[in-house]
A and B are shown apart, each in its own frame.
Chain A
Amino acid sequence: MSRPLAPELFASLDPLSLAGSRCPACATVQFPPAPQCAHCAADGPAPIALPTSGRIWTWTVQRFAPKAPYVSPASGFVPYPVGYVDLGEVLVETLLQVGDRSPAIGDEVHLRRAPVGTGEHFTYAFGA
C-alpha cells in the first residue's frame, strides 16, 4: 500500500484533498500550511482543505532528469509536465497528468495521486 511522501501536504487521504492555511489577519491562503503567514508574518494561520479542482495557470515540461534530491521512477526517467493550478484563493505548483495531450493554460484539472520513485510513496498531481 502506497504511503504519502509528505503527509503534511494532505488535509485528507480519502477523499484526497490538499492542506493549506488561511491567515487570520490578511486572509492569504498558502500551501503547504505554515505556522506563520508568508505575506504579513501573523502567527496562527488556520488549517484548511484546498479545493480539489482548478485551472492550469502556467505549465512546462521537465525534459531532463533533475539532480538529487529528485528520484526518478524505477523504470527510468521520463519527461513530466509541471505547472501551477489556479484553485481560486491560491495557485499551487504541481505535477500535471494530462496523458498524451499537451497541457494548456485554462484547462480544468482535478487533484489525484502520483507515484514517487519506486512507487512506495505517492505525492499529489492534477490531471484532466
Chain B
Amino acid sequence: MNDNDIYVVGAGIHAFGRHEGVSGADQAVVTTRAALTDAGLGWDKVDVAVGGSNTGKPDSLVARLGLTGVAFTAVRNGCATGGIALATAANALRAGQGEVAAVIGFDKHVRGAFATDPAAYGLDAWYGTTGLMVTTQYFAMRTKRYQHEHDLPDLTLAQVAVRASRNGAAHPHAWRRRELTTDEVLGAPMVSDPLTNLMFCQPDEGAVALILARGSRAFDLCPAPVRLAAVTVRTRGPGSFEVFSPWLSPQRAGSPSSAAGRDALRQAGITAADVQVAQVQDTDCGSELIHLAETGLCRDGEQVELLATGATDATGRLPVNTDGGCLANGEPIGASGLRQVHEVVRQLQGRAAGHAVPGAPRVGFTHVYGAPGVSACTVLMRSDR
C-alpha cells in the first residue's frame, strides 16, 4: 500500500430521526466514540478533526471528547457539508498534517421545510418575500423539466420512494421504516407538482463519524480498511440549473454533480460500470433520478428501465441508496453525506446493517448535492493488504 492513500478505518452512526432531549452534540459525541472504538483508538490519537454542522458548533465537541489540542476545522456547506468535511480531512492527511483524522457530521433541525435568508445566498429580499425561494419548489421544477426532456413518467418517481422505503424498513439506523406502495406514493398529497409528500425527505436529526488513516497505519487499525480512492468537490459552472436562481442561461451546461462525479471516477481510475453500490442525494425522488444520470451512473432516460426492473435494488445490477437514502433517513444535513459513506463502507466490509449487496462488492460511490450548486463525490474501494 501507498502511505499517501487514505483509508476509512472506523465508522459510527447515531440513528437518524427525532430524539427528544438529546442534543446534536450529544449525538455527535456518542457517534465519535463509536467510530473510535471501531478503529481501536482513543481521541488522543486523533491528529486532525473536521466537523460539519448547520445547527451546531462542531469544534466545541473537544470539551466532551478530550482537550488534546487537536487541529479542528468546522465546515458548513448546506446539504454537501458531509462530503466537504470528508474531503477536508483527507486533504489534511495527504498534506502530512497527521496520520489519523476524525470526520464528524451532525445536525438537529426543527420540523418542517428549511427557512432560508436570501441575503445569505447573495439574493435580495424580494426573492423570498414573493415566494420564489423554496428548495422543494426548485426540486419540483427541475424534475418537471427533466421528465419533459427525457420522458420519465410519475410512476418512475414513485418507484424510487418505494425502493427507499423497502431499504429503510430493513435498516436499524433509518428513521422511516414502513414499506410504501406506488399507489400510496402517487396518491399522497401533492407538495409541489409532480412531487407528493411521500416523494420528499424531511429535515431531522442524526450524526455520523468516520476515522481516516494514512496507508502506513490503516491495516494495523482495521482488519478491513476501505480505501478512499477519490473525494471531489465542485461548484456550479455557467448554465447549470441550480437552486435559488432568479434566472437561468438558455445555454444549458453540466451541473456540479456531473463535474464532481466525473472527477471522482477519473481520480479513482475507474468507470461508472465498475460501481457496485452507490449512494446519490435523494432529497426527493426526482433528484435521485437526475443525480444518477448527472454522476454518470446511468444515461438520461435509462432510469425508467432501471427502476422498473429492480436494477437499483440491493440485489440488482446497480444497488442505489441501500440504507433507504435521505427518503428513509431524513436529512440532518451535516451528517447526510457521511451517512452515505458509512453505508458504503459497511457494504464493502460485508457488515451492512440492512439489505446487504450480494457478491462481496469491492467498489462503491457516493454523491451529495447542496445549495446553491455544490456537489461532493467519493469512490470507496475494499482493500486487501
- Picked from B125, B126, B131, B246, the residue with its CB within 8 Å of the CB of A80 is B131
Given contacts A61-B193, A64-B191, contact A86 B137 (CB under 8 A): no
Bound Cα distance from A4 to B345, whole angstroms = 54
Interchain residue pairs with CB less than 8 A apart (19): A6-B125, A28-B249, A40-B238, A58-B141, A58-B142, A58-B144, A58-B148, A59-B193, A60-B144, A60-B195, A66-B128, A66-B133, A68-B128, A69-B128, A70-B129, A92-B246, A93-B245, A105-B145, A116-B130
- Assess the B248–A90 pair: CB atoms within 8 A: yes
Given A83-B141, A89-B250, A92-B246, the answer on whether A64 and B190 have CB atoms closer than 8 Å is no
A16 to B113, CA, bound (A): 34
- Contacts of A32-80 to chain B: CB distance below 8 A: 32, 38-40, 57-64, 66-71, 80
Residue from the list A6, A68, A70, A91 in contact with B247, Cβ < 8 A = A91
Indicate if the CB atoms of B247 and A67 lie closer than 8 Å. Answer: no
- Chain B, 182-221, contact with A by CB distance < 8 Å: what is the 0/1 string? 0000000111111100000000000000000000000000
The answer to whether B145 touches A66 (Cβ under 8 A) is no
A61–B190 Cα distance when bound, in Å, is 9
Which B positions have Cβ atoms within 8 angstroms of A? Answer: 112-113, 115, 117-118, 124-126, 128-134, 137, 140-142, 144-145, 148, 189-195, 238, 245-250
Choose one: A68, A71, A88, A91; the contact of B115 (CB below 8 Å).
A68
Q: Which of chain A's residues have a CB closer than 8 A to the CB of B129? A: 5, 69-71, 116-117
**A32 and B246 contacting across the interface, CB-CB below 8 Å:** yes
Determine the distance from Cα of A118 to Cα of B309 in the docked complex, in whole angstroms.
Answer: 52
Closest CB of chain B to A97's CB: distance in Å?
A: 13
- A66-B124 in contact (CB<8A): no
Q: Is A17 an interface residue (CB 8 A)?
A: no
Q: For residue B118, which residue of chain A has the nearest CB?
A: A69
Which of B117, B141, B250 contacts A82, CB < 8 Å?
B141
* A92 & B190 in contact (Cβ 8 Å cutoff): no
- With a 10 A CB-CB cut-off, give which of A5, A30, A64 has the most chain B CB atoms: A64
A32, closest chain B residue (CB):
B246
> Across the two chains, which residue of chain A brings its CB closest to B115?
A67
Query: Nearest CB to that of B238 among chain A residues?
Result: A39
Contact A93 B144 (CB under 8 A): no
How far is A90 from B117 in the complex, measured between Cα atoms in Å?
Answer: 25
In the complex, what residues of B have CB within 8 A of residue A95's CB? 130-132
Are A90 and B193 in contact, CB atoms less than 8 angstroms apart?
A: no
Pick the residue among A28, A84, A88, A93 that contacts B238 (CB under 8 A).
A28
Asked whether, in the complex, the Cβ of A123 is within 8 Å of the Cβ of B130, the reply is yes
Closest CB pairs A-B (n = 5): A6-B126, A60-B140, A67-B115, A58-B145, A69-B128
Chain A positions within 8 Å of B195 at CB level: 60
Residue pair B191, A63 in contact (C-beta under 8 Å): yes
**Smallest CB–CB gap between B130 and chain A, Å?**
5
Residue of B nearest to A125 (CB): B130
Q: How far is the CB of A51 from chain B (nearest CB, A)?
A: 12
Alpha-carbon distance between A63 and B249 when the two chains are bound, in angstroms: 27
Q: Which chain A residues border B246 with CB–CB below 8 Å?
A: 31-32, 92-93
- Asked whether any CB of chain B lies closer than 8 Å to the CB of A9, the reply is yes
Contact with B along A85-128 (1 / 0, CB 8 A): 01011111111000000000100000000101100000100000
Contact B113 A123 (CB under 8 A): no
Question: A62 and B145 in contact (CB under 8 A), knowing A69-B125, A71-B129, A90-B250?
Answer: no
Closest approach, in angstroms, between the C-beta of B111 and any C-beta of chain A?
11
Assembly CA distance A9 to B117 (angstroms): 19
Closest Cβ of chain A to B119, distance in Å, is 10
What is the distance, in angstroms, from B126's C-beta to the closest C-beta of chain A?
4
Complex contact A59–B144 (CB within 8 A): yes
When distances are taken between beta carbons in the complex, the residues of chain A under 8 Å from B142 are 58
- The CA of A8 and the CA of B112, in the complex, are separated in Å by 32
Given pairs A59-B193, A69-B129, A116-B130, 18 additional interface contacts (CB within 8 A): A40-B238, A57-B145, A60-B144, A60-B195, A61-B190, A61-B193, A63-B189, A63-B191, A64-B191, A66-B133, A69-B125, A70-B128, A70-B129, A83-B141, A89-B250, A93-B132, A93-B246, A105-B148
How far apart are the CA atoms of A93 and B247 in the complex, in Å? 6
Max chain A Cβ within 10 angstroms of own Cβ: one of B134, B137, B247, B250 = B247
